[in-house]
Amino acid sequence: MQKKVPVIISLILILACNALAAQPANTINADMVTISAQQQHDVVSPGTESVLAIHFELKKNWHFYASAETAPGSVNLKIKPSAEKNLITFSQPIFPQSQSYFDKFSGKTLDVFGGKFTAFLPFTVNQSSPPGKIDIVVAVEGAVCSDMLCSIPNFGFLTAQLEIAADAATTKPNFTLPDTTPPATSETKRSAHSTLVALGLAFLAGLILNIMPCVLPVIPLKVLSIFEQAKESKARCIAMGLSFCLGILLFFAALAILNIVLRLGYGTVFQWGDHFRNPIFLVAMTILMVVLALFMFGTFTFIVPSAISQKSGPAKGIPSSIGMGFLAAILSTPCSFAILTAVFAWAQTQQLALSTLAIMLIGLGMAAPYAILTSMPGSLKYLPKSGRWTELFKQSMGFVLLIVAVWLLSVLLQLQKENILYFTVIFAFSIWMWVSWVTPTTSASRKITTRVIALAIAVAAGLWLLPTPKTAAIDWQKYDAKQIASAAKTRPVLVEFMADWCLTCKVVEKTVYSRKDIADLIKQKAVLPVKADTTSPGNPATIDLKEIYKEPGVPVTILFVPTQTEPIRLHGLIIGEKLKQLLEDLPDKTQ
């Protein structure tokens, strides 16, 4: 009997702890979210309406799913209120405006709630409710997820004690319900601000076209030719100047129409965020920025056919002025190719109305100086002359494009940045070889040989260094021991220990983790891929590799399987087929 006493006491303590844990509370403090309740009115009268606010504060990078239609497993955020003796009638909860979140694992854009937000529970106190205090109990359900993990916690219950009194005053609420139209969030304001800045930069880009070396010498000639044709009156001069500006705008209107055709005819409709989630787009834009920088440095040029450029001489009448303006815009393209390409690429990612406006603002920016000069003839003497400064300005823009290329490279998450950088340098060398290794006097056979070699170098580098359609990128996550331990309880976890200085690691990356079948199996089996960087001695992965896993060095791959007590370790270079077999033996994520 004495031996049973401690057991009985232990059972009583466990039951007591469980009972206390299940008790409702005014605030719930979970690992990744804090939830609290607030009453709109402390005292209410029978037959009146009031609201209970449920405040959520999620930790950084965690979110609830807002819609059952887009939530994995339909486990979205739900709020279920109840009151004793059914003395209160609840309406549907009012949630705030959701946010868009791109889930890298599923490849879908989902509706989520993150950060700090509030949901409201409107209710009506029944007319027959007697005076006194009643408890409102709220159950909160839903999956809480981050980029790496998901959890469905047992939040317990929230409680709020409501007092009912016949003469309750409800004129001073603790808070008011938001408008039916949610106010603009800071993110929306930033988006609107960014759009205005982008449109302003488009106009500025048009102004910059006029100081490019190809265009600046043309401005006074064009304006003076308009003056010669409109000596009879100032009105005639202004009309000729505006028609010249119209010609410029017609060129950019043609670009805007081309944009619309590409969008509607070929379905190239993407959001800007979607482009930046696409590694192929990021690689292409990185390479393009470097090529355009080479153009700015004068490594190669875009030449307008002489048949077009020679037609820019003086002609008579408004139609000829419109044609001259159109040709002036064409003549700006050799020196402004990089600017037009960058802005046109940005416009391709916006809504049609906004993209059309952006392209036309470039034309307005280019046309503005002509309109000013033709309406103010005396201002011609203040026009800066072209010279060395214009060429230096053009070259300085090349360095700006290189900075953009570096930034685009830093955005890449799924691909080997070093490979992209190596290819970009080799590709730039191929362009330099194509242009600079031949001259107008070089024989045709030597030109062909040189350029075939340059093309072969670029193609060979692309096949070796760039991801191919057969190579599926793995969405590697950063090493975090706690998250790995938590995830390994419910799903397989693959940890690749590597280092930047390790050449054999790069061989494993190329021969194993660049394989499409391996990448597809990792996704199919819902494996969490983690890249453990041991480049520096102080990295957490370096310390854990030695102290926890007792491994002498890299490369080494460790596979954690929930049904196995010990992880599986793969060493050396030839691990592809073994890893494939291990992955195939895992259950599919649907199971």
Q: Is the pLDDT of residue 566 over 80?
A: yes
Q: How confident is the model at residue 18 (pLDDT cuts 50, 70, 90)?
A: very low
Task: Confirm if 460 and 435 have CB atoms less than 8 A apart.
Answer: no
Q: Which class is domain 477-584?
A: alpha beta
State the pLDDT at residue 304. Answer: 44
Q: Which of 18-32, 58-72, 314-328 has the lowest mean pLDDT?
A: 18-32
State the pLDDT at residue 561. Answer: 92
State the pLDDT at residue 261. Answer: 72
Q: Is the pLDDT of residue 371 over 50?
A: yes
- Region 441-467: what's the mean pLDDT? 86
Half-sphere exposure of 549 (CA within 13 A, CB side): 25
Q: What is the mean pLDDT of the chain?
A: 75
- Region 144-154: what's the mean pLDDT? 72
State the pLDDT at residue 54. Answer: 93
Q: How confident is the model at residue 555 (pLDDT cuts 50, 70, 90)?
A: confident
SS3 402: helix
- Region 219-230: what's the mean pLDDT? 54
423-426 long-range contacts, CB within 8 A, separation 24+: 423/287, 423/461, 423/462, 423/465, 423/466, 424/286, 424/287, 424/290, 426/457, 426/458, 426/461, 426/465
State the pLDDT at residue 344. Answer: 62
State the pLDDT at residue 15. Answer: 39
| CA pair distance 343, 364, nearest whole angstrom | 14
State the pLDDT at residue 532. Answer: 92
State the pLDDT at residue 108. Answer: 64
Q: Is the pLDDT of residue 332 over 90?
A: no
- Region 479-485: what's the mean pLDDT? 90
Per-position b or e across 496-505, b if 16+ CB within 10 A of its CB: bbbbeebeeb
Q: Is the pLDDT of residue 138 over 80?
A: yes
Residue predicted with more confidence, 395 or 136: 136
Fold of 7-171: Immunoglobulin-like (2.60.40)
State the pLDDT at residue 4. Answer: 43
Find which of 57-71, 189-203, 567-581 is predicted with most confidence, using mean pLDDT.
Answer: 567-581
To the question of pTM greater than 0.85 for the whole model, the response is: no
- In the numeric block, the tokens 């201002």 are attached to 379
State the pLDDT at residue 119. Answer: 92
Q: Which amino acid is at 457?
A: I
SS3 169: coil
Q: Which amino acid is at 456?
A: A
| CA pair distance 105, 522, nearest whole angstrom | 11
Task: Quick: pLDDT tens for 236-269.
Answer: 767 777 888 888 889 888 878 876 776 665 544 3
- H or E element: which one contains 141? strand 132-141
State the pLDDT at residue 493. Answer: 94
State the pLDDT at residue 271. Answer: 38
Chain region(s) in the chain for CATH 2.60.40.1250: 7-171
Residues 6 or more apart whose Cβ sits within 8 Å of residue 83: 90, 123, 134, 135, 136, 137, 162
Sheet holding 63-65, edge to edge: 99-103, 108-114, 63-65, 144-145, 150-151
Residue predicted with more confidence, 400 or 505: 505
Chain region(s) in the chain for CATH 3.40.30.10: 477-584
**Tokens found for residue 555:** 């490369």
Q: Is the pLDDT of residue 338 over 50?
A: yes
Phi, psi of 80 (to 5 degrees): -120, 105
Q: Which of 164-168, 241-245, 272-276 has the lowest mean pLDDT?
A: 272-276
Phi, psi of 65 (to 5 degrees): -85, 135
Q: Which of 206-220, 366-380, 536-550, 570-584 has the lowest mean pLDDT?
A: 206-220
Which DSSP string corresponds to 478-505? Answer: E--HHHHHHHTTTS-EEEEEE-TT-HHH
Percent of the chain residues topping a pLDDT of 90: 10
State the pLDDT at residue 184. Answer: 45
SS3 425: helix
Q: Is the pLDDT of residue 340 over 70?
A: no
| CA pair distance 357, 377, nearest whole angstrom | 30
Q: How confident is the model at residue 294 (pLDDT cuts 50, 70, 90)?
A: confident
| CA pair distance 242, 215, nearest whole angstrom | 18
State the pLDDT at residue 312. Answer: 45
| CA pair distance 165, 131, nearest whole angstrom | 5
